[in-house]
């Protein structure tokens, strides 16, 4: 059994378009944007819809659940990540639709599978925000 170990929690670089997103993470909330013109859920949060190019978008709280779309187990890493192997890098498809790149944590890396249901957890960066990562649902 290969449990995930503690991963680095780098401080994200916020900009005016993402400040509200990062502030919500400190409160344990996962926000996405939704386009009011075409209805698409948008990830990575940005004010202009990448599907129809409308600027009529709004913040929406995501439920924090999804499924693993694809993943890779990282067994060799460098720098700050070198002591964290093995760990899982994945695309999670949120129940709301968009796919986000993230880490799967609190899991046996050998048992992670495509289609597994996962839920968001927030790991504090120590800088007033948190990184959204995912763990197997029910953990």
Give Cα 41 distance to the centre of its chain.
Answer: 14
pLDDT value at position 28?
96
Backbone angles phi, psi at 102, to 5 degrees: -160, -175
Report the percent of the chain where pLDDT is more than 90: 85
Identify the burial level of 41 via C-beta atoms within 10 angstroms of its C-beta, where 0-12 means exposed, 13-18 middle and 19 or more buried.
middle
Query: Is residue 2 predicted with pLDDT exceeding 70?
Result: no
Q: Mean pLDDT for the chain? A: 93
Which residues, 6+ apart, have CB-to-CB distance to 59 below 8 Å? 20, 21, 31, 32, 33, 45
pLDDT value at position 5?
61
Domains of the chain: 19-136 (2.40.50.840)
DSSP H or E stretch at residue 118 = strand 117-124
Average pLDDT, integer, range 57-72: 97
Residue 139 CA to residue 133 CA, distance in Å, equals 13
Report the percent of the chain where pLDDT is more than 70: 96
Specify whether the CB–CB gap between 91 and 108 falls below 8 A.
Answer: no
pLDDT, tens only, 74-121:
999 999 898 899 999 999 999 999 999 999 999 999 999 999 999 999
């Amino acid at each position: 059994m290969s449990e995930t170990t503690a991963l680095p929690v780098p401080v994200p670089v916020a900009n005016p378009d993402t400040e509200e997103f990062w502030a919500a993470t400190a409160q344990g909330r996962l926000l996405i944007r939704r386009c009011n013109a075409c209805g698409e859920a948008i990830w990575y949060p940005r004010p202009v819809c990448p599907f129809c190019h409308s600027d009529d978008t709004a913040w929406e709280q995501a439920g924090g659940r999804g499924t693993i779309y694809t993943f890779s187990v990282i067994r060799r890493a460098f720098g700050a990540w070198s002591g964290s192997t093995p760990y899982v890098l994945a695309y999670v498809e949120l129940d709301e639709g968009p796919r986000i790149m993230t880490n799967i944590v609190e899991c046996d890396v050998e048992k992670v599978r495509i289609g597994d249901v996962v839920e968001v957890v927030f790991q504090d960066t120590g800088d007033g925000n948190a990184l959204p990562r995912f763990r197997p649902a029910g953990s």
